[in-house]
Amino acid sequence: MPPVPKSDAAASPPHRLRRRAWSPSRGNALLLLPPLLLLTAFFIVPLATVFIQSLSGDTLGLTQYREVVTNGATVSVLLYTFQVALQVTLGALILSYPVAFMVSRLRGNLLHLCLGMILIPFWTSTVIRTYAWIVILQRRGVLNEAFMDLGLIEKPLRLVSNGVGMQIAMMHIMLPFMILPLLSAMRGIDGNLLRAASVMGANPWRQFVSVYLPLSLPGISAGCVLVFITSLGFYITPALLGGQRTMVAVLIEQQASRLLNWPLASALATILLILTCALFILYERALRSTGGGRPAGETA
């Protein structure tokens, strides 16, 4: 047997000294361990605790869920919550679309300035913005005083504690959540497609309806889902500006903190979570069926 060259012997170490080679799958598994531990401690365990607590009470089982479904007042609160979330989503979309369109056309420092103006309110506390709207919308607030000085109204309008001010404040708070997905989709639209439509004889309105609007649908759907799901769990703004009619987050707080009815509060929170997950699953399936998950330029 010929002797093994020194270089080959160094390249193939003995089996007992050979270590297991690193592989991407092994590395990914190790990297997943910290987030899994974090999610288990701060998300899965609290959710499991809430669900188990919703089954407790005077009698174990689904008594609390049956009470939620059969109680007309509780069902009315759930329906009102979804109604407000839908109105806020539509209002935020109507206000955000032209803003995102104009910002998507900007370049350079002006683009950065507009992005900063969009993001600065996003970094401000929700409590501060809600109290600012109370100052603006109250009976002797800035808006009513301005309308009365201009002669548009004779007596102050009631804009607080009747749901109107709550929805205005929620729309304002939700605007960055709607503008940013819209802006991301609009900046991905190829301008050559609009020029091609113009060459083919389409007027500006036809270019918008037939080309631009369909290409911006991924941003519209992403922003609507984000705003709608976030609006379902709003607490601070409905508690301060909501008036007599409450949303489900306020009802959960009342049941847990004031009435100490933790099983019913846990059942309401579980139902709200299930409905939110169901809506998100429907959105994902609708997005896949329409091909909305692809980049905007590929949908043309």
Q: Over its length of 300 residues, how does the chain's per-residue pLDDT go in tens digits?
A: 445 454 444 444 555 555 566 565 656 677 778 888 999 988 899 989 988 888 887 777 788 888 888 888 889 999 999 999 999 999 999 999 999 999 998 888 888 898 888 888 878 888 888 889 988 988 888 888 888 888 888 888 888 877 888 999 999 999 999 999 999 999 988 888 888 888 888 888 988 898 899 999 989 988 999 899 899 888 888 888 877 788 888 889 888 888 888 888 999 999 988 988 888 888 888 777 766 555 444 443
Would you state the structure tokens that stand for residue 104, as one six-digit string? Answer: 């998507």
How far is CA 27 from each of CA 19, 20, 22, 30, 161, rounded to the nearest angstrom? Answer: 15, 12, 7, 5, 55
Angstrom distance (rounded) from CA 35 to CA 202: 51
- Give this prediction's pTM: 0.79
Angstrom distance (rounded) from CA 235 to CA 253: 9
Q: Which residue has the tokens 């160094």?
A: 10
Show Cβ contacts of residue 1 under 8 Å, excluding neighbours closer than 6 positions.
none
Contact between residue 239 and residue 204 where contact means Cβ atoms under 8 Å apart: no
Show Cβ contacts of residue 63 under 8 Å, excluding neighbours closer than 6 positions.
57, 263
State the DSSP code for 257: I
**b/e sequence 210-221, b meaning 16+ C-beta within 10 Å:** ebbebbbbbbbb
